[in-house]
C-alpha cells in the first residue's frame, strides 16, 4: 500500500455499516419472510437464547462482497435456559440461505468448538444448499462441506444436536438434519430433499410436488426423517427447547432434574383391559406413571404402533418405550423397530433411564414385511435394547409374545427389574395361535362342533396355565408382580436402586448393527 492510500477513510463507519447490514433483512427479504410467515434469523435466536447471552462469531464474514451479510449464516453461543449451547442459523434472506465458502468455514468452526468444549448444538436450518459458483472452494477440500458431516458424526452421542427446520434443506445440506438427535419441521414451510422436484423430473422423469417429495408432513409420517411437526417458527423453537430440557449438555453429565410432581391420573385396575382383543390408549398408562404434563413424545406421527418420548418421574428424566394397542394392535413393524432403536440409542448416549411398557403381540409377519427386511430391522431394535446400559425397568403391562418380549427388554436382556401387572402374560405366542399351530390337524379331525369347542377350550386352559404370570414369578422369570396403583412407586424405587450400576457392556471398538 502506498502512503496516503488510507487517508480519508472512516474505518469506524465502514465497520459499522458492514455490521448493520447483517442485523436487519433487506426490504425484499423482510417482505418474503412476512409472506411465508417466517421470523428473521435474529428473531429466531432471540427466542432460543436467554436475553443478552448470545455472543456471535464471524459476523463480518464476506463483508467485502455485495449482498452477502455474514455470508448467510449466523453462528455463536449463548445460554438456553441457563445452559450453554452453540448455534448455526441460516439466514434465508441472503441468497435463500445458500452456502458459500465462508458459510461452510463458519459452520465447520462451530462443530470444532462443539467437539473441543463438548457443547450442544442447535441447528436452525433454512437453506437452498450450496452455491454452485463457489463449489470449488466449499465442496471438495479438507475444510469443505464434507467436514461438517464428519464432525456431526463425531458429535453424535457426545452432545445433543437439535434441529429446527424452518424452510428447505436441500441436496447435500439435507444431511445436516439427518445427523441430529431430533428434527422439528415447520409444516407448510419446511422441506428436505436430495433432489428437487425439477431435478427429479429432469433426471428420472418423475413429476412430483415439493410436499410429496420432501414436505414436513411426509417426513413426519412416511419417511421418519422428521420427528415432530410445528405450526410456525416460534413453536418449533419452543419444542426444541423442551426437547433439550430432558437432556444433559454432554454425555459426561446426568440429565437435569426438576421439582417432583404427581401423575395426571390414577392407575386404576380397569385402565388396562384384561381381554387382549380390547384396545386402549397406552398414553393413559403413561399419564398414570409420569409427572403431570411432563411427557414429550418423539415421532408421534411415525410408526404410531410404538410410543417413544421423555417424561419426568418424581422430577427425574426417563425415556419411555411403549407398545400402542390402539394402533395396529401394537404389533411391531420395520418402522417401529427403527423408531425404537434410535430412541433407545439416544437415551443410552445421554444417560437417560429407560422404562419399557410392553403390550406386544410380536413382530408383524407376511411377505410384505419380509421383503421390507423386518428380520434385519427387528434385530436392530433388539441390538439397541441389548447395548443400553442405563438403568432400565421393563413392565409387562398386558402381554409380551414372541420376539416382542425380547424387543421390549424382557428378562433375557438384563433389565434392572422386569415387573408385570397381575393379568399379564408372557409366551412364545398367544393361546389361539399356539393351539392352532400345534393341534390344527387334531382339531380339524373332530367332526362334532360341540366336541371340537370343548377340546379347544381344554387346550386353552392348559396353555394359559403354562403362561400364568404367577407361575412365571414363582420360577423367577420376572422379578415382581405389581398392583397397578403401586407401579409408579415401584418404578421410582427400582430406578433409584440402579442409579449407580456398572455401565460396561462389551469390550470392542463398536458393534456392527444390522441396519
CATH classification at residue 93: 3.90.226.10
Same domain, 206 and 335: no
**Domain-ending residue, one of 246, 273, 294:** 246
Same domain, 319 and 199: no
Q: Does residue 348 sit within a domain? A: yes
Pairing mode, if any, of strands 296-298 and 191-193?
Answer: unpaired
Number of domains in the chain: 2
Same domain, 63 and 181: yes
Q: Does residue 504 sit within a domain? A: no
Same domain, 296 and 221: no
pLDDT of residue 4: 55
d(CA 61, CA 339): 40
Which residues in the chain land under pLDDT 50? 1
Range of the domain at 293: 282-498
Q: Does residue 3 sit within a domain? A: no
d(CA 45, CA 56): 11
Residue 385: name the closest of 404, 413, 412 by CA.
413
d(CA 91, CA 334): 37
Q: Does residue 427 sit within a domain? A: yes
**Domain-ending residue, one of 246, 273, 305:** 246
User: Considering all CA atoms of the chain, what is the largest pairwise distance in Å, rounded to the nearest integer?
Assistant: 114
pLDDT of residue 508: 93
Same domain, 392 and 452: yes
**Domain-ending residue, one of 199, 222, 246:** 246
8-state DSSP, 254: P
Same domain, 230 and 316: no
End-to-end CA distance of the chain: 60
Per this entry, what is the length of the chain?
A: 515
pLDDT of residue 467: 79
Same domain, 237 and 331: no
Same domain, 294 and 207: no
pLDDT of residue 455: 80
Chain mean position to CA 438: 41
**How far is the CA of 105 from the CAs of 37, 74, 117, in angstroms?**
30, 12, 18
Chain mean position to CA 473: 35
d(CA 458, CA 439): 12
Q: Does residue 264 sit within a domain? A: no
Same domain, 424 and 299: yes
Pairing mode, if any, of strands 161-170 and 191-193?
Answer: parallel
Same domain, 234 and 309: no
Q: Does residue 8 sit within a domain? A: no
pLDDT of residue 140: 86
Same domain, 213 and 348: no
Q: Does residue 473 sit within a domain? A: yes
Q: Which pTM value belongs to this model?
A: 0.94
pLDDT of residue 304: 98
Same domain, 485 and 362: yes
pLDDT of residue 200: 87
Q: Does residue 163 sit within a domain? A: yes
Amino acid at each position: 500500500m502506498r502512503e496516503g492510500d488510507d487517508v480519508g477513510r472512516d474505518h469506524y463507519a465502514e465497520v459499522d455499516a458492514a455490521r448493520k447490514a447483517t442485523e436487519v433483512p433487506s426490504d425484499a427479504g423482510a417482505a418474503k419472510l412476512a409472506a411465508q410467515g417466517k421470523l428473521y434469523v435474529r428473531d429466531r435466536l432471540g427466542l432460543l437464547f436467554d436475553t443478552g447471552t448470545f455472543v456471535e462469531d464471524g459476523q463480518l464474514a464476506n463483508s467485502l462482497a455485495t449482498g452477502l451479510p455474514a455470508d448467510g449464516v449466523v453462528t455463536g453461543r449463548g445460554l438456553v435456559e441457563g445452559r450453554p449451547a452453540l448455534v448455526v442459523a441460516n439466514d434465508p434472506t441472503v441468497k435463500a440461505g445458500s452456502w458459500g465458502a465462508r458459510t461452510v468455514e463458519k459452520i465447520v468452526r462451530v462443530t470444532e468448538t462443539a467437539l473441543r468444549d463438548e457443547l450442544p448444538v442447535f441447528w436452525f436450518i433454512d437453506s437452498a444448499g450450496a452455491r454452485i459458483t463457489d463449489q470449488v472452494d466449499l465442496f471438495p477440500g479438507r475444510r469443505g462441506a464434507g467436514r461438517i458431516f464428519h464432525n456431526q458424526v463425531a458429535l453424535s452421542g457426545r452432545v445433543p444436536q437439535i434441529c429446527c427446520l424452518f424452510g428447505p434443506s436441500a441436496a447435500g445440506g439435507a444431511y445436516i438434519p439427518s445427523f441430529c438427535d431430533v428434527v422439528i419441521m415447520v409444516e407448510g414451510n419446511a422441506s428436505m430433499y436430495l433432489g428437487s422436484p425439477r431435478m427429479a423430473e429432469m433426471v428420472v422423469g418423475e413429476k412430483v410436488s415439493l410436499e410429496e417429495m420432501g414436505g414436513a408432513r411426509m417426513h413426519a409420517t412416511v419417511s421418519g426423517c422428521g420427528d415432530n411437526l410445528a405450526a410456525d417458527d416460534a413453536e418449533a423453537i419452543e419444542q426444541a427447547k423442551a426437547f433439550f430440557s430432558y437432556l444433559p449438555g454432554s454425555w459426561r453429565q446426568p440429565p437435569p432434574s426438576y421439582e417432583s410432581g404427581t401423575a395426571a391420573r390414577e392407575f386404576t385396575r380397569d385402565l388396562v383391559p384384561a381381554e387382549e382383543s380390547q384396545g386402549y390408549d397406552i398414553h393413559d398408562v403413561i399419564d398414570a406413571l409420569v409427572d403431570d404434563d411432563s411427557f414429550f413424545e418423539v415421532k408421534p406421527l411415525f410408526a404410531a404402533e410404538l410410543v417413544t418420548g421423555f417424561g419426568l418421574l418424581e422430577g427425574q428424566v426417563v425415556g419411555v418405550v411403549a407398545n400402542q394397542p390402539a394402533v395396529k394392535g401394537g404389533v411391531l413393524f420395520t418402522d417401529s423397530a427403527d423408531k425404537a432403536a434410535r430412541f433407545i440409542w439416544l437415551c443410552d448416549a445421554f444417560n437417560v433411564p429407560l422404562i419399557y411398557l410392553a403390550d406386544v403381540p410380536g413382530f408383524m409377519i407376511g411377505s410384505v414385511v419380509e421383503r421390507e427386511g423386518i428380520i434385519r430391522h427387528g434385530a436392530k431394535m433388539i441390538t439397541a435394547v441389548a447395548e443400553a446400559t442405563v438403568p432400565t425397568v421393563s413392565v409387562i403391562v398386558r402381554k409380551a409374545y414372541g420376539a416382542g418380549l425380547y424387543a421390549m427388554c424382557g428378562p433375557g436382556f438384563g433389565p434392572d427389574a422386569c415387573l408385570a401387572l397381575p393379568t399379564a402374560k408372557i409366551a412364545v405366542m398367544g393361546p389361539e395361535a399356539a393351539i392352532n399351530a400345534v393341534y390344527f390337524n387334531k382339531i380339524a379331525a373332530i367332526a362334532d362342533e360341540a366336541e371340537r369347542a370343548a377340546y379347544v377350550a381344554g387346550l386353552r386352559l392348559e396353555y394359559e396355565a403354562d403362561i400364568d404370570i404367577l407361575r412365571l414369578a414363582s420360577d423367577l422369570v420376572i422379578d415382581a408382580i405389581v398392583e397397578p396403583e403401586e407401579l409408579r412407586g415401584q418404578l421410582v424405587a427400582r430406578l433409584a436402586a440402579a442409579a449407580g450400576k456398572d455401565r460396561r457392556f462389551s469390550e470392542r471398538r463398536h458393534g456392527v448393527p444390522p441396519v
